[in-house]
Amino acid sequence: MDVTEYDHIDIWRSACVGGGSVVFTGAMLQPPRNYFDAIFEGRVNYDEMHALYYYPRVRQMLRLSPMPADIYNSAPFGHSQRWDAWARRAGYAPRPVDGIWNWDVVRAELRGTSRASCAVRRRNLGNSNRAKFDLNQNYLLQAKATGKSQIYPGHEVKGI
C-alpha cells in the first residue's frame, strides 16, 4: 500500500486482489441525479442505473445495509457518533448510509469471538475476518465460478 500525504487529506492506493474494495471504508452511496449528471454529462443514463444496474443489482450483490444501532452505539464505533455530532453542530442532519459489512461478523468482533479487525480501526485496510464483504467474497468469486476467468495475484495487466 502507498499513501501520499497532503495538507488536508491522505490518499491511499494499493495493488491487491480485490483492488479498491479492500482499502475503502465500505460506505456505498447513491449519488443525487444532479451530481451524477454533472460527472457523466449524459453519457450514462441515471434512470437506467437507478432502476436496473448499480442501485438494485449492486445493492443485492453487495448485501448493502446501514449500520445497526447496537454497533453504532458500541464503544469501538464512537467515532461514528462523534462525526454525527460534529455534522449536527455544523447544521447538517446526518443519516445512516449503506455499507458492505457483514454485521454478524462485526458483532462477533465486539463479543470477542472473532479476530478483531473492523472494531479496532482496520476497516479501511481490508479485514482479516471477512467482516467487509469486499470483491474477494462476491464479484471475483462469481467471475471465477464461471470457469472463464482466473485470479492471478501479483500479476499486472497491461492490456486486454
pTM to 2 decimal places: 0.75
3-class secondary structure, 115: coil
Question: How many whole angstroms from its chain centre is CA 69?
Answer: 19
Nearest of 130, 106, 133 to residue 28 by alpha carbon: 133
- Compute CA distances 149 → 15, 16, 96, 140, whole Å: 19, 17, 36, 9
What are the pLDDT digits (tens) for 105-137? 999 999 999 888 877 766 666 677 888 888 888
pLDDT (mean) for 59-65? 89
pLDDT (mean) for 40-48? 93
Strand pairing partners for 11? 4
- Indicate if the pLDDT at residue 138 is higher than 80: yes
- Residue 84 vs residue 4, higher pLDDT: 84
Q: Which three cell numbers stand for residue 2?
A: 502507498
